[in-house]
Amino acid sequence: MRIGKLLRDEVEQYTNLTGEDGWHVPIMKVGAYLDGYNKGLDILDKIKEEIQTLRDPFCYYSEGIIDDVEDIIDKYRKSE
């Protein structure tokens, strides 16, 4: 039962992301797509973490720029 729910969730996520009916796509394609998608999200998280290390408490302008960059990353991260 648990594997069935996992498969259903993955097919549903694939369908939501691509607009393609995941039930009529080979499961290997669904899995490969979601693996790549999740790796992309992981990379965005790593970029955001690295950008946060650039914060300079003595520079007001760096705060605004870093906040803007983080907002852009969040926008693309949530575009699922």
Mean pLDDT of the chain, nearest integer: 87
3-state helix, strand, coil in the chain (%, to 5): 80, 0, 20
- pTM of the predicted model as reported, rounded to 2 decimal places: 0.72
Residue 8 has pLDDT above 60, yes or no: yes
How many beta carbons lie within 10 A of that of residue 2, not counting itself? 6
In 3D, which of 32, 28, 30 has the Cα closest to residue 11? 30
Q: Is the pLDDT of residue 3 over 90?
A: no
Question: How many domains does one find in the chain?
Answer: 1
Could you read off the pLDDT of 23-44 as tens digits, one per residue? 999 999 999 999 999 999 999 9
Residue 4: pLDDT band with limits 50, 70, 90: confident
Domain residue limits at 27: 2-77
Gap between the Cα atoms of 13 and 27, Å rounded: 13
